[in-house]
Structure 1
Amino acid sequence: MRVILTVTGNPALDVSYRVGDLRPGRTHRVRTVHERAGGKGLNVSRVLHERGVPTLALGPVGGILGDSLRADLAEAGVPHELLPVAAPTRMTIAVVDDGGDATLFTEPGGPLSPVDWERLVALVQRHLAHADVLVCSGSLPPGAPVDGYADLVRRAAGAGVPTVVDTSGAALLAAAAAGADVVKPNLDELREAVGSDDPAALADLGAAAVVVSLGVDGVRAHTPAGSFTARPPSRVAGNPTGAGDAAVAALAHTAGADWPDRLRTAVAWSAAAVAAPLAGTLDDTVLAEVFDRVVVTRT
């Protein structure tokens, strides 16, 4: 079976706290707590699995939290092969208030040794023969080469596998220069990387297509078929954590389709992820309401 292969360079145990009102310097009573295996690529695989799309999640994990990630993915039925490494897996915390605003706290993760990074590369290389698309998502862990995802992009190209990369900073620039088929920064990440709001700046470096997340305003894209914007019909209330990962899952799932259809799917899946309580899932009711009402325009 061919799969969408996801690589999460820096996985995490995602913890979500729901509070009434977030006030710095005050004690808060947490109403609900949710924990699950996280990191952007794992969220992508979780969305794809939920949609019935074959996927395999790869990434390095270590320590007690690494065991928690394996157990959670196994319980959810998400196919995975997590590489045991010496570096301990990190934790991220999202505090969501009644207004739907999420405040995130993200640990950097333990340093990954060069040997463990090469073991991860070998694991990805082994699975490329059965991949329809390679997705590289999230930050690179301390110790990984800055062109780590770019190297995987080049290896995938050599195997005839298209790539979608969602990262930031120097790793984003390197992936674009390596010729990634799609790079998907958000607007702040685009500005940080190239000092511009223009997606074409990353295409000029070598990326075939650039899709920029605009939050509640949808996406802006520079593609081989032209430039487009895609907007949801209205703002969706909820937890935006994981909305970008749902968009990446949609872009991977629709590889080869017309760009307006790909962008419509990305915006609809992203909106449905906001309405879902946890990253890695979609709200089917919102998805049905939004999908045909996403507005895609050529710019």
Structure 2
Amino acid sequence: MILTVTPNSALDVTYTVDGLRPDSVHRVREMRARAGGKGINVARVLHTLGEDVRAVATAGGATGNAFTAELSEAGIPADLVPVGGETRRTTTILSTVDDTVTLFNEPGPDLSAQEWTSLVDTVGRHTPDVLVCSGSLPPGAGGYAELLTTGVPAILDTSGAALTAGLSGRPSVVKPNLAELREVTGRADPVAAATELRSRGAGTVVVSLGADGLLAVTEHGVWQAAPSKTLTGNATGAGDAAVAGIALGIAGGEPWPGILRRAVALSGAAVLGPLAGDIDLAHYRRELGAVVVRALPN
């Protein structure tokens, strides 16, 4: 079983508009709302693939009720920790005229010490094959290092101070993008920056390169995996789909070239999905054999 943890869960609201223009009134073509947050997106991808997955997340207030109801409707097994504050909303604006995606992310409710302890205890009641800790931390939360002491392979997908502090928990994998990697290391070269994160506690560093795929710096070597073609669409959940692929590969004992191939294929499949957490299964299956993986010098 793969366990995902989303301390700063959200109700993801997506508006589709013809174009996004400042100082203008916009007519919304379509509005969709669903349970979200990075770990929930990972769980949704794995659930779509028929994998054994469970989500741990927080939920509070009327927005939390909507979050809980949608997650149940989707059939994703979950342990939800009640919180006194209102679950946040994230708003995505999809512009059809130029295929741009604009995001507005709220900070999330303040967690009490008791609520954070309840989240940590909920995670501790499980013994998964892989633990995935994803997303920002809400105000009042402790650190991810408290969740990474379960003795199982753990993937940490966060940024900034939460990533830096989480390295003390010695995660098996961290997955920053290029900007996040540069922010926490001050280094422009991704291999050198990833090597620094490994020296600070990360087992493997997988770097999102956007349309160029993924870079993995591991104890056994360095690999880059690239998609077979450039895709356009909604890239909001592409990184979460990649994490789902990494978790699935680790759970199955795959070597890193195979893990990267799966992660890139799922990432591309997410770009073609209408909402974060959706994947185009046909593209995923085709792309598994088409992703190009090459070894790089250390």
Question: Is TM > 0.5 for Structure 1 vs Structure 2?
Answer: yes
Within 2, Cα distance between the matches of 1:28 and 1:187?
A: 33
Within 2, Cα distance between the matches of 1:285 and 1:101?
A: 24
One-letter code of the match for 2:216? A
Find the counterpart in structure 2 of residue 223 from structure 1.
218
1:190 matches 2:184: no
Within 2, Cα distance between the matches of 1:289 and 1:251?
A: 18
Instruction: Measure how far apart 1:100 and its partner are.
Output: 2.2
Deviations along 1:111-165, one digit per CA (max 9) or x if unpaired, are 11111000110111011x3x111100000110012xx211111x212xxx11001
Find the counterpart in structure 2 of residue 119 from structure 1.
118
| Matched residue SS, 2:150 | helix
Instruction: Measure how far apart 1:220 and its partner are.
Output: 1.1
Find the counterpart in structure 1 of residue 242 from structure 2.
247
Gaps of 5+ in 1: none
- Using the size of structure 2 for normalisation, the TM-score is 0.95
Instruction: Measure how far apart 1:214 and its partner are.
Output: 1.1
One-letter code of the match for 1:42? I
Which structure 2 residues correspond to residues 230-241 of structure 1 after superposition, within 5 A? Answer: 230-241=225-236
Which of the residues 179, 196, 201 maps onto 1:201?
A: 196
Find the counterpart in structure 2 of residue 103 from structure 1.
102
Instruction: Measure how far apart 1:178 and its partner are.
Output: 2.1
Within 1, Cα distance between the matches of 2:87 and 2:260?
A: 33
Cα pair 1:232 1:268 within 8 Å, conserved: yes
Find the counterpart in structure 2 of residue 281 from structure 1.
278
| Matched residue SS, 1:103 | strand
Cα pair 2:16 2:95 within 8 Å, conserved: yes
Within 2, Cα distance between the matches of 1:80 and 1:243?
A: 22
Which of the residues 47, 54, 57 maps onto 1:56?
A: 54
Q: What is the CA RMSD across the aligned residues, in angstroms?
A: 1.0
1:296 matches 2:296: no
Within 1, Cα distance between the matches of 2:212 and 2:222?
A: 16
Instruction: Measure how far apart 1:88 and its partner are.
Output: 1.1
Within 2, Cα distance between the matches of 1:283 and 1:150?
A: 34
Paired residues, number: 289
Within 2, Cα distance between the matches of 1:177 and 1:83?
A: 25
Instruction: Measure how far apart 1:106 and its partner are.
Output: 0.5
Within 2, Cα distance between the matches of 1:25 and 1:217?
A: 35
One-letter code of the match for 2:115? D
Gaps of 5+ in 2: none
Find the counterpart in structure 1 of residue 157 from structure 2.
166
Find the counterpart in structure 2 of residue 266 from structure 1.
263
- Using the size of structure 1 for normalisation, the TM-score is 0.94
Cα pair 1:150 1:171 within 8 Å, conserved: no
Cα pair 2:144 2:169 within 8 Å, conserved: no
1:257 matches 2:254: yes
1:156 matches 2:150: yes
Instruction: Measure how far apart 1:168 and its partner are.
Output: 0.6
Instruction: Measure how far apart 1:174 and its partner are.
Output: 2.1
Within 2, Cα distance between the matches of 1:253 and 1:112?
A: 31
One-letter code of the match for 1:235? T
| Matched residue SS, 2:234 | coil
Cα pair 2:7 2:58 within 8 Å, conserved: yes
